Every structure is written in C-alpha cells, then in structure tokens.
Amino acid sequence: MTVQIPFDNSFARLGSDFSAPVMPTPVGAPKLVAFNEPLAQSLGLTWEAGPDRGAVFAGNLVPEGADPLAQLYSGHQFGQYNPQLGDGRAILLGEVVDQGGVRRDIQLKGAGRTPYSRGGDGRAWLGPVLREYLVSEAMYRLGVPTTRALAAVTTGEPVYRERALPGAVLTRVASSHLRVGTFQIFAARGQHEALARLTEYAIARHYPDAEGPMGLLRAVRDAQAELVAAWMSFGFIHGVMNTDNCSIAGETIDYGPCAFMDVFDHHRVFSSIDRMGRYAYANQPSIAAWNMAQLATALIQLAEDPNDWVNEATEIVHGMPDRLQAEWIDRFRAKLGLRSEQEGDLELITDLLRIMSDGQADFTNTFRALLEGGARDQFVDPAAFDAWETGWRRRLEAEEEPEATMRHANPVLIPRNHRIEALIAEAVEGDFTSFHRLNDALANPFDARPAFEDLRRPPTEREVVQATFCGT
C-alpha cells in the first residue's frame, strides 16, 4: 500500500443505527485523472509514487484504518418526504483531522452498490464526476463553504444510463456528511435516543458553543444563511435543495444539476427535473428557510414536551429571511465596492439587477466590468445602465479603495456551463486537456490572466446550456 491516511473514524463509532458497513466494489482498470495535491497535504496524506493511488481512490484497495460505510438518512425531495434514502452510491472511507485541526470526511462517490442503493448500480459516469470536481474546487477558490474534490479516477468499465458511458469515481472531502435528512429519519421513526446522540455528535463536531438542540438549530440557520447569500452573489443555482442535500456544516454539497448563470435572470432554472421552478435562483432563500423548518420539526422532538420548544424554534426559523437578507446585502455591497452602510443601498443593488435582467446582461462579466470598465457594453440597451451608473458613482465617493473591495468580490472566471459540457464531451473520448486547463484557470478566479482570457466569453446562442442533469 502506497497511500497512508491517518484515519480517526468518529461517525463509525456511533454504531449501526446510523450507517451500514459496506466495502467498495473493485473496478476493472482504475486510472487516476486528477489528484488534488495541496488538499492531500493538508489532510496529512502521504504516499510513494506509483499506480496505487488510482486503485485506492477507485475503491480497489482500502487503506489501513478505513472503516467503509454508507450513511443513513431520509429527506424531502421537491417537497415530498421520502422515509428512507441513504448513501446509494457513496461510501465513507473514514475521517481525518487536518492540519488546521478540523475533522474531515473522505468519501468515494460511485464506488458501487450499498444497502441504500434502491435498485441503482451505485456507480457514477465520468461527466458528473468531472463537473463536481471542477465546480466544487471553483467554489472553494471563490471563498464559498463547500465540499472539496480530492481525486477523480476512471474505472475502465462502462456505466449504462441512456447509453454506455465511461465510469468514474470521485473522492470527496467534507467537514461532515450530516444533513437535515440525517435528523429527519430518526425523528420520523420516533427513535429519540438515536436522535439525541446524533444531535450531541453534531454539536460537538461542528458547533461546540451551541447550547442544546435549539442552539444547534440557530447555528445551522446562520451557516445556511451565509452559504445561500454567497451562492447568489456569484450567480450560482444549486438545483436540488432537498433536505437530504442540505449540510448541517453549512457547506455546498451534492453538485448535481448545479450551474452558474450567464445572462442574469431571477427565475432561472437549470435542473432538468425542477419542472416547477422550486429551486430557481430567486427561490433559494425561501427554500433554505423551509429546510430549516424541517430541521426544527425534527429537533423539537427531543423536548420532554415538544410544545415547550415550539416558540423558540419558530423564532429561529422566522429569523432566517432577515439573517439571509443581511448577508445578501453585504455580499452585493462588496460587489459594488461598498463597505459602509447607507440608506438606499438596497435600492441601488436591486435597480442594477433589474436593468441587468431587462438588458440581458451577463452576471459575472457585468460585475467584473464595473471594476475594469465597459460595463455598459454588457447591455442590449446601455441607456438604463448609464442612468444607474451616475448614482453609483456618486455613492462611491463615500468609500475608500472601492476597487480593492470589488476585486475580491467579482471573479473574472466561473465554471461556465458550456465549457463544462464541452470538456465532458472531450473527456468521454479520452481527451482531458480542456478539463485540466479549466481547473488550472479556476484556481485563481479573481485574477485576470491573458492565457485564460477566452474562458471569460459567455456562450454563443448555439452553446447555451438550457438544462443540467443529476447524472445519477
């Protein structure tokens, strides 16, 4: 074995109520496509040069100290409660404590069937693996809380969806994989002892200063408010904000039909399965609050009399919109170069978003052009922008170094949908050149670099991606 991973598996020690032991299913010809060296070093991983890394991160070789398992959870999917879900194609190898003292999960996605696969094959095909690798690492570089990608491996075996596609496995790193749905399943089953143990575990792992279940609810609410505001400031649409995809740690998790907007549209939906627009861009704050209500419903069952906690839980959940709005305004102030607070800032922000929507302006390029110049060129009819700009310039007079503020809030590059779709098509044919190039470019998304100037271009009419897919 060439890979050494310093495992310390606290979740496995919770016992069989919370997971099922399962070994990864070996694949025919694992080949390492990408490996995140800086992340590996921060986790304390060591290895010798050789082919075994591909075998380990495909699941063929299980490192010493691992305790592979599939986690149990339930969840609301598009508003409908599913009483049992669980890791159907993900296997938690174990946990490590990183160099910063933070406990991290190391999980394989696409490593074979588990007891929760519900008829699925437990596998992943190459496209979703490359998408999650790129987008999660881009989110990390943008400063958004997120799971991260440690490795991507092709399996040498086909996966059958609409057609035969190359199989792959992603190694994902997370602060944990505890979800709102992890709490829901024990509440729904009336397993209050297990729910109490889970709550104590979550507090100790993520929010040690939280006092009891309601303290946990408040901490998760605040983390989710910060997260969703960050998403929106970069034009990101998660696509499937089900409660089983809502991380207790406040990280972006489960990059399925996610996407970054090109042309700004409050109502934009990409997910092919979100036919009613439940998880559209502008709906994400209300859905985050709805998810917190489901967590509250689970946690109040830990009270001797649940009615004792109803008022406090209601106050916490009802505080979510104001909390998220405050985070959202701070984010968008920074995008306009504003650090101080003045009356009229909200109107200034919303007026710009309105004329961006009316003027079919590219979200990322417009905000960056406010810094670099030429923002009016982003609009079909620049006259509306000209009128708005006058007020904005006047507001900037009250700020010191607004350019520095804007430079750290407005990226040059995002992982645009048409670029991802094109590189996936190339990778299916065995060419990973565009994947590696885009990954390199996104490592510094706030820096304008001539070598990657072409990646700033929005899609042409023929390149526009209308729908994205879960990829399961």
Catalytic residues: 244
Residue 265's alpha-carbon distances to 147, 257, 269, 334, in angstroms, are: 27, 17, 9, 20
What count of residues does the chain have?
472
- Distance from CA of residue 190 to its chain's centroid? 30
Which residue matches tokens 């194609």? Answer: 89
Q: Is residue 104 within 8 Å of 173, Cβ to Cβ?
A: yes
The one-character DSSP state at 146 is: B
Give the Cβ contact number of residue 424 at 10 Å. Answer: 21
3-state helix, strand, coil in the chain (%, to 5): 45, 15, 40
Handedness of CA 152, 155, 159, 163 (dihedral sign): positive
Dist CA 224 CA 205 (whole Å): 17
> CA nearest 272: which of 242, 231, 238, 239?
239
> CA nearest 71: which of 12, 151, 2?
12
Residue 306's alpha-carbon distances to 159, 187, 314, 471, in angstroms, are: 47, 12, 12, 40
- Helix residue ranges, H only, 253-302: 284-299
Residue 272's alpha-carbon distances to 79, 239, 290, in angstroms, are: 16, 9, 22
H or E, element range at 179:
none
Main-chain phi, psi angles of 339, to 5 degrees: -105, -40
Residue 435's alpha-carbon distances to 134, 301, 394, in angstroms, are: 8, 47, 43
